[in-house]
Amino acid sequence: MTTSQIQRAKSQTHEHILSIVQTETQHFEAGRRVHLLDVGCGDGHLMVYLMESLPLLNPTLTYEVYGFDVNDHGVQVQGYFEESIRFLTARLPDILWAEKLSLITSSDPWPYPDRQFDIIVSNQVLEHVHDHDLFFSEIYRTLRDGGCAVHLFPLKHHLIESHLWLPFVHHIKHFDLLRFSIKGLSRLGLGKYLAFKRDIGMNLDEYAERNADFIHYFTNYLRYQDFLNLAKRYKLRASYRYTQEYYYRKASAMLGRHPVFTYSTHRSGLMDWLAVAFLKYVSSVTLFLEKKETYSSKE
**CATH code, domain carrying 55:** 3.40.50.150
Is 299's pLDDT higher than 80? no
Is 170's pLDDT higher than 60? yes
Identify whether residues 279 and 137 lie together within a single domain: yes
The total domain count for the chain is: 2
In a domain, 125, yes or no: yes
Is 223's pLDDT higher than 70? yes
Identify whether residues 170 and 105 lie together within a single domain: no
Is 115's pLDDT higher than 50? yes
Identify whether residues 129 and 239 lie together within a single domain: yes
Boundary of a domain, candidates 201, 218, 235:
218
pLDDT recorded at residue 256: 84
Identify whether residues 189 and 230 lie together within a single domain: no
In a domain, 295, yes or no: no
pLDDT recorded at residue 74: 67
Mean pLDDT of 222-235: 98
pLDDT in tens, 254-298: 888 888 899 999 989 999 999 999 999 999 999 999 999 999 855
Identify whether residues 109 and 148 lie together within a single domain: yes
Identify whether residues 146 and 179 lie together within a single domain: no
Identify whether residues 118 and 260 lie together within a single domain: yes
- Name the band, by pLDDT with cuts 50, 70 and 90, for residue 198: confident
Mean pLDDT of 228-245: 97
Mean pLDDT of 14-18: 96
Identify whether residues 9 and 92 lie together within a single domain: yes
pLDDT recorded at residue 3: 57
The whole-model pTM stands at 0.94
Identify whether residues 122 and 240 lie together within a single domain: yes
Boundary of a domain, candidates 202, 218, 234:
218
Boundary of a domain, candidates 182, 203, 218:
218
In a domain, 267, yes or no: yes
Identify whether residues 146 and 253 lie together within a single domain: yes
Mean pLDDT of 206-226: 96
Identify whether residues 62 and 194 lie together within a single domain: no
In a domain, 93, yes or no: yes
pLDDT recorded at residue 5: 73
Tell me the pLDDT of the chain averaged across its residues: 93
70 close to 105: Cβ distance less than 8 angstroms: yes
Percentage of the residues of the chain whose pLDDT score is greater than 90: 84
- Name the band, by pLDDT with cuts 50, 70 and 90, for residue 1: very low
Identify whether residues 43 and 180 lie together within a single domain: no
- Find the domain containing 174 and state its range: 164-218
In a domain, 296, yes or no: no
Is 139's pLDDT higher than 80? yes
Position with higher pLDDT, 125 vs 201: 125
